[in-house]
Amino acid sequence: MKKMAMKTTINDYGYNCEGVGRVNGKVCFLPFALKGEEVEFDIEKETSSFINGKLKKVMRTSEKRIAAPCKYFGKCGGCALQNVELEEENKIKKEIAAGHFKKIGFKGEIGLVSVNDYFYRNKIKLFCNKNGLGLKKNDSAQIVNIDKCLIASERINEVISFCQDFIKAKQLEDKLENLIIRSEGENVLVHFAFKEKVDVDFQGLQIMLGAGSGIYYSFYGFAPMHALGAEELSETIGGVKISYNVSSFKQVNDAVMKKLYEDALSKVKGRNVINAYSGAGLLTALVAKKGIICSGIELGESEHEDAQRLKSDNGLSKMQNYHGDCKDILPKVITKDTSTIILDPSRKGCESEIMKRINESQVERVIYISCEVPTQTRDLKLLSNYKIQSVCLYNMFPRTAKVECLVVLDKKSAKSLQQNER
């Protein structure tokens, strides 16, 4: 029997920037619905407390709604907010973050830095099916074929089209699992990850990409091997020269990353810093470049190696790179001289032991960078001996539901800690 479409009014935004309404006492989450809209939707999933719906019709349209410029919007699963102007998107992201911070008692002003909206991504991962390249819809197995992506750099879009033609000409559709394209200006690195062993002549594609670009390939999910052209891309950020290959970690939005790191750097206090979850070490290097001792802690082996290279390539004697789990290393590296701790964990946030150890320390300042405000605020709640000084969002991922957040905290004075205890 065909299910009847449901109706609701959107009165809030959920964690993924989806519209939130209520039906029969249940919360319903509706991607692409905007606050103030009256909508009709189909139920995709229903539990005793919530409904995940699929937007069917907007009966009363928000004045903020605009036509999305991308023909794949709502289909490919990548973007969440192409249906509003950037200014409104920033307002929505701020409102959602404010809700999370309110839960931990912070009601102060939240800043926001936003510098671009489209053509910003310096990296894209595409999947392949019999029709060519596409994106995986919401991490499902379903591939939505695309010929361009409006949030990827213009150069990446050009290379997508070269690769589509190349895949078709060489009949690689059934053999290719995925393709990664990474750009730095005109130069690109392309990685073909094949499902099986194949012998491919990449010469023609390499000529199209140009001398500063390179091609990698891999089979069965093993490590990428260099095929032709450049092995790395390089650039200089804040006086630090970085070189990276197709697998190295790098933030996807260069302009916003530079602003974020510049601001983080300006918040560092004292001369002895720990950068926990330091990745490929760019932030550690930027701090050390200022003549401040900075110890990075990173679990990933290749990221640690990248950080070690960053240190030697830039002759950074004040940069130290520790390889291992923050849980084990941070308690050993933290001393009475540590003046600032920078935390930049992945989405799952920090281990509670780490937050507790920092809370007991005498470290003057904590700078916490995260791309996941819910886990960030969960962790910050454990820093009861610290007071939030500032919260600022960086729209690193415009048009999508994601945002980066920089929080600065200072150790409470002995007097205010005593008052807290009473």
Ligand X SMILES: C[S@@+](CC[C@H](N)C(=O)[O-])C[C@H]1O[C@@H](n2cnc3c(N)ncnc32)[C@H](O)[C@@H]1O
Q: Which residues bind ligand X (CB under 6 A)?
A: 249, 277-280, 282-283, 297-300, 303, 325-327, 344-346
CB of 249 to ligand X, least distance (A): 5
- Burial degree of 28 (CB within 10 A; 0-12, 13-18, 19+): buried
For ligand X, the closer of residues 363 and 367 by Cβ is 367
Q: Which tokens is 252 given?
A: 């996807």
CB of 126 to ligand X, least distance (A): 22
Residue nearest to ligand X (CB): 279
For ligand X, the closer of residues 37 and 254 by Cβ is 254
Please give the full DSSP string across 54-95, using - where no structure is assigned.
EEEEEEE--TT----S-TTTTTSSS-S-TTS-HHHHHHHHHH
Cα separation, 329 vs 358, whole angstroms: 13
Alpha helix positions (H), 268-345? 282-289, 301-313, 326-333
For ligand X, the closer of residues 129 and 375 by Cβ is 375
CB of 71 to ligand X, least distance (A): 32
Q: Which tokens is 92 given?
A: 């929505």
For ligand X, the closer of residues 127 and 277 by Cβ is 277
Cα separation, 3 vs 42, whole angstroms: 8
CB of 140 to ligand X, least distance (A): 24
CB of 311 to ligand X, least distance (A): 13
For ligand X, the closer of residues 56 and 327 by Cβ is 327
For ligand X, the closer of residues 164 and 275 by Cβ is 275
- Is the Cβ–Cβ distance between 407 and 380 less than 8 Å? yes
Please work out, in degrees rounded to the nearest 5, the angle formed at the alpha carbon of residue 180 by the alpha carbons of 173 and 345: 140
CB of 308 to ligand X, least distance (A): 13
- Is the Cβ–Cβ distance between 120 and 251 less than 8 Å? no
**Alpha-carbon torsion, ordered 34, 37, 43, 48, to 10 deg:** 90
